[in-house]
Homo-oligomer: A and B are copies of this chain.
């Protein structure tokens, strides 16, 4: 054993460390917005591989980290899988209505364009 000190522990900002600018920045990317939208639709914990994203796995990891470090999602390990869920209660407490209006806006915009294949 090489004392790998495998952290296997993921850093999350506490509720009062979450900054509005960073949340908005995290949501201002199409890939991440789609992740958040999918996560809001299913209301359970989802593994990273659940999402069928048009980017490689490296990039997917990057986007999930941005979401986690900005406080939008919470991630935890479960064996080899990593489960993700929205930090709804934290976000709603800090920024009431923000997440809902962003999700509604994203849905409306997706509908306005030709993206209804995700029924």
Closest to A99 in B: B101
> A24-B28, A28-B24, A28-B28 are contacts. A101–B105 as well, Cβ < 8 Å?
no
How many subunits of this chain does the assembly comprise? 2
Are B108 and A97 within 8 A (Cβ)?
Answer: no
A55 at the interface (CB under 8 A from B): no
Question: CA separation between A98 and B106, bound complex, in Å?
Answer: 11
- Interface residues of A, dominant DSSP: helix
Contacts of A108 in B (CB 8 A): 94-95
Q: How far is the CB of A20 from chain B (nearest CB, A)?
A: 5
How far apart sit A94 and B25, CA to CA, in the bound complex (Å)?
19
User: Could you say which residues of chain B place their CB within 8 Å of the CB of A98?
Assistant: 98, 101-102, 105
Interface residues of A (CB under 8 A from B): 16, 19-22, 24-25, 27-30, 33, 94-98, 100-102, 104-106, 108-109, 112
Nearest 6 A-B pairs (CB), nearest first?
A95-B105, A25-B28, A24-B28, A97-B101, A98-B101, A20-B109
